Structure 1
Amino acid sequence: MKTTLITGGNSGIGAAIAELLLVRGEKVVSLGLELPAAEHENLFGYTADLTDAANTAEVAAQIASDHQIDALVHNAGMILPNLLPDASPQDILTLSQLHLAAPMALTQAVLAGMEERGSGRILFISSRASMGMPTRSAYSATKAGVHGMARTWALELAPKGITVNVIAPGPVLTENFWGIVPKDGELQGKIADGVPVKRIGTSDDIANAAGFFLDDKASFVTGQVLFVCGGTSLGSLPS
């Protein structure tokens, strides 16, 4: 039975991907600040602060010891919005640890097993903001960095049967989104109107795309960035 490790698997997009995989009959290991609220015989929860390098290394070793990981979904993220005059260099360091260094440590912990089996899936959940967006200096920079790192890994790991891909969502109705945009308020409506498909995305929209990349049949697809964004990658959004 295939086992997928999902960071941020306890809520939002991560929880939606976990649910999809559990319905498929697969095992899911959720890693987040909190344990998942859902219960299932094939769902296993771990907690860690992925902005803490030592905590990340510790939990990575524990998960690798406890489970045979066949796929990783690097989904956990944080925004830290600020216009340039108020932005802090520390934001860059914090989000680099969360979006880049933590995924590297987790992947390194389980990579040997994937290489031995000659197969594996690594999937990053990035953001349309990687193309640039007001108030997103640290977030955009580190999410754009995800794309470069994923493509590098794709080239290195392709001969070993391991694919590496990226989903870059547009605006999605999650607690992360509502932490910045008042729920069901005027700005949310303005953002929805600015999306070419005239709605904001859902966690299931992203999970459906993830299901494709994680499938065994997707072995000929690697190094790709898929914008699941309602068309917002073709233009700009109100901020």
Structure 2
Amino acid sequence: MNSRRVLITGASKGIGHALAVRLAEAGHRPVGMARTAPADFPGEFHTVDLADRAATATALDDVLSGGAVDAVVNNVALVRPGMLGSVDLDHLVDVYDVNVRVAVQVTQAALPAMTAQGWGRIINVTSMVTVGKSDRTSYGAAKAALEFCSRAWAGELATTGVTVNSVAPGPTETELFRGINPPGSAGEARYLSGVPMGRFGRPSEMAAAIFFLLSEEAGFISGQTLRVDGGGSVAVA
């Protein structure tokens, strides 16, 4: 097995941290980026506010000074809920910036080494809400943009050995999700009602899906969105 160096944004907790643990257990080398370093990250970690474009560029220089990155997982997210009539335009810009600009900036930095070696993986972590969800104009539109990026980049890179895919989690037991939908809240009940399996996903389940798409065995899969949502996207459809 080749040991791959995998850069993960938003890696301090939730899905990103669970993925880092899984990668390390399999002999790979996770590299995390987030505002706060966890005490137990199983690899190299770079503390950076990804909402700051210049700071992100500096952190990426530091990452690449340690060697090439073989794969990128664009996992960092920002959510600003709001029905159409109450969407704050500054929040809209902020959400697009963290969800889309960061993914483009990070991927651009890592891409030259991946294409040079003829192997690479890019995973954009999106969301079940891209199939339709009220109160999520900013977030849903930004994540839908990432799903477009996966399709477009897959076409651009099809002959390079670099694959690009999205993983779209359903409601997952993360700090981000619970911060908006605490136990016993109306939000929790609303989300549960939309998941046919009747439970929330676990970060480890999302990490498993991403881990597969990062693998050698997934080399003929590109431009796809894998929905890991307990049947929620089917229920919406």
Shorter-chain TM-score bucket reads: over 0.9
> For residues 39 and 57 of structure 1, what CA distance do their matches in structure 2 show?
22
> For residues 31 and 22 of structure 1, what CA distance do their matches in structure 2 show?
16
Matched residue SS, 1:159: coil
> For residues 183 and 51 of structure 1, what CA distance do their matches in structure 2 show?
29
> For residues 211 and 41 of structure 2, what CA distance do their matches in structure 1 show?
20
Alpha-carbon distance, 1:186 to partner: 6.0
Q: Deviations over 1:7-42 (max 9, x none)?
A: 0111000011111101101101000011122144xx
- Structure 1 equivalent of residue 209 of structure 2: 209
Matches within 5 A, 1:91-130: 91-130=91-130
- Structure 2 equivalent of residue 17 of structure 1: 19
Residue 140 of structure 2 corresponds to residue 164 of structure 1: no
Residue 135 of structure 2 corresponds to residue 135 of structure 1: yes
Q: Pick which of 182-191 and 221-230 moved more.
A: 182-191
Give runs of ≥4 in structure 1 deviating > 2 Å.
Answer: 183-194
TM-score norm. by structure 2 comes to 0.94
> For residues 217 and 119 of structure 1, what CA distance do their matches in structure 2 show?
13
> For residues 127 and 35 of structure 1, what CA distance do their matches in structure 2 show?
24
Q: Is the 8 A contact 2:20 2:41 kept in 1?
A: no
> For residues 41 and 15 of structure 2, what CA distance do their matches in structure 1 show?
17
Gaps of 5+ in 2: none
> For residues 25 and 130 of structure 1, what CA distance do their matches in structure 2 show?
33
- Structure 1 equivalent of residue 79 of structure 2: 79
Q: Is the 8 A contact 2:194 2:235 kept in 1?
A: no
Q: Pick which of 14-23 and 187-196 moved more.
A: 187-196
Q: Is the 8 A contact 1:8 1:75 kept in 2?
A: yes
The amino acid that maps onto 1:18 is A
Alpha-carbon distance, 1:194 to partner: 3.4
- Structure 1 equivalent of residue 38 of structure 2: 36
Q: Is the 8 A contact 1:196 1:231 kept in 2?
A: yes
Alpha-carbon distance, 1:202 to partner: 0.8
Matches within 5 A, 1:58-69: 58-69=58-69
Q: Is the 8 A contact 2:34 2:47 kept in 1?
A: yes
Q: Deviations over 1:88-109 (max 9, x none)?
A: 1122211221111111111111
Q: Deviations over 1:191-214 (max 9, x none)?
A: 334311111111011011011100
The amino acid that maps onto 2:167 is I
Alpha-carbon distance, 1:85 to partner: 2.1
> For residues 185 and 4 of structure 2, what CA distance do their matches in structure 1 show?
41
Gaps of 5+ in 1: none
The amino acid that maps onto 2:92 is I
- Structure 2 equivalent of residue 26 of structure 1: 28
Alpha-carbon distance, 1:165 to partner: 0.3
Matches within 5 A, 1:175-186: 175-185=175-185
C-alpha spacing 1:178/1:152, structure 2 compared with 1 (3 Å): same
Matched residue SS, 2:167: strand
The Cα RMSD (Å) is 1.6
C-alpha spacing 1:36/1:119, structure 2 compared with 1 (3 Å): same
- Structure 2 equivalent of residue 151 of structure 1: 151
> For residues 141 and 39 of structure 1, what CA distance do their matches in structure 2 show?
31
Identity %: 35
C-alpha spacing 1:130/1:35, structure 2 compared with 1 (3 Å): same
> For residues 114 and 209 of structure 2, what CA distance do their matches in structure 1 show?
22
The amino acid that maps onto 1:215 is S
TM-score norm. by structure 1 comes to 0.93
